[in-house]
Amino acid sequence: MFEIEKATAAIDQADNLEALDALRVQFLGKNGEITLLLKTLGGMSPEERKEKGPAIQALREAVTDAIAARKAALESAALEAKLAAERLDMSLPAAPVPQGSVHPVSQVMDELAEIFADMGFAVATGPEIEDDWHNFTALNIPETHPARAMHDTFYFPDTDAEGRAMLLRTHTSPVQIRTMMSEKPPIRIIAPGRVYRSDSDATHTPMFHQVEGLVIDRGIHMGHLKWTLETFLKAFFERDDIVLRLRPSYFPFTEPSAEVDVGYAQEKGRRVVGGDGDAEGHAWMELLGSGMVNRRVIANCGLDPDEWQGFAFGVGVDRLAMLKYGMDDLRAFFDGDLRWLSHYGFSALSVPTLSGGISA
């Protein structure tokens, strides 16, 4: 005979959830004691069923309620025990989280974009896989020109659909061509990006970075070029005593062309940009190439060189970074050594701005 007091007592004494579940099966499972009692109802006369049915149902409810109550009690006791046993030491220092940094090349490119944006220049880009028309021919470097050999070009084995030789661009100058062909003057752009030459030593890597500058407008002359470069270099090196020397030079895509030297002094074993290169303790260092855009290049892009003139310049971004931040081996830029990156890298939070500081 089923005894409810014994059953509820057993339930109340179950000291873990497994034991409680075993009791549930014992009373309410498929062959449980109460389940069997419920089954006897089927064989009873209607009067008997009316009399005994509610009592059996009441047993089932009492056992179900007792199990639920015990289950809640066991669970809250387990939670209490866990809360009492688990301790967090809030005074421990935060675990050191490895932090990334902004690569000096990215930093310098951001600095350039900020400085030139203030002078009204947009940032333009072009493909690193170029054809020889954009990289050479349109820039007034014909097939037989020695400059093609000088560039140590990486060529692809196949030509494009128009039969043009394909290559990794050797400079950012093809972006000049693409911009003049796709945009109407006036044009003011800088084009920073990767360039490739088959060359490798402490100051040359097969991949490096350049930034190209291009201005196309009416009545542009060398004075605009010199002012722009001076303003850029003062902002970039964050000092006012930048002195430039323009030396006559030759590039096929500019006429006249000028190589730009900057005065520097040797301090603690490294070159520090600033001062007149002819002054005591100073010297000149070649920094960038520039000139007035060659009439032929303007015409190659479908513009009338009698109406539109401009200047262009090109400078190594890695070299600018080395001069400003004092690294002496270019190869380390691309080794991915975490010690180098954390030493020379920049915080992602220090975005260069003219108001807040270019390299602050």
Q: Give the residues lining the site for ligand DAH (CB under 6 A).
A: 171, 173, 212, 251, 254, 289-291, 312-314
Report CA torsion sign: 143, 149, 150, 155: positive
Query: Cβ closer to ligand DAH: 67 or 177?
Result: 177
User: Please, how many CA atoms are within 13 Å of residue 153, restricted to the half-sphere of its CB?
Assistant: 24
Tell me how far, at minimum, the Cβ of 148 lies from ligand DAH, in Å.
12
Q: Coil, helix or strand for 52? A: helix
Closer CB to ligand DAH, 275 or 316, in the complex: 316
170: enclosing H helix or E strand: none
Phi and psi, residue 93, nearest 5°: -70, 150
Closer CB to ligand DAH, 107 or 173, in the complex = 173
* Least separation in angstroms between CB 360 and ligand DAH: 30
Measured CA to CA, the distance from residue 128 to residue 105 in angstroms comes to 17
User: 166 vs 222, which CB is nearer to ligand DAH?
Assistant: 222
Residue 173 C-beta: closest distance to ligand DAH, Å: 4
- Smallest separation, CB 131 to ligand DAH (Å): 17
- CA dist., res. 19 & res. 269, Å (int): 80
Q: Measure the CA–CA gap between 145 and 317, rounded to whole angstroms.
A: 26
In the chain the first and final C-alpha atoms are separated, in Å, by 87
Supply the minimum distance, in Å, between the C-beta of residue 290 and ligand DAH.
5
Total residues found in the chain within this entry = 360
Select 33 or 259, whichever has its Cβ closest to ligand DAH: 259
Q: Is 353 helix (H, G, I), strand (E, B) or coil?
A: strand
What is the rounded distance in angstroms from the CA atom of residue 123 to the CA atom of residue 187?
Answer: 11
Q: How far is the CB of 221 from ligand DAH (least distance, A)?
A: 15
Q: For ligand DAH, give the closer residue by CB, 11 or 108.
A: 108
Instruction: With beta carbons less than 8 A apart as the criterion, state whether 39 and 53 touch.
Output: no
φ, ψ for residue 112 (rounded to 5)? -60, -45
Place of tokens 């930034």: 211
**Closer residue to ligand DAH (CB): 192 or 314:** 314
For residue 259, what is the DSSP state? E
Nearer to ligand DAH, 289 or 352 (CB): 289
- Minimum distance from CB of 176 to ligand DAH (Å)? 7
DSSP 8-state code for residue 102: B
What is the smallest separation between the CB atom of 238 and ligand DAH, expressed in angstroms? 24
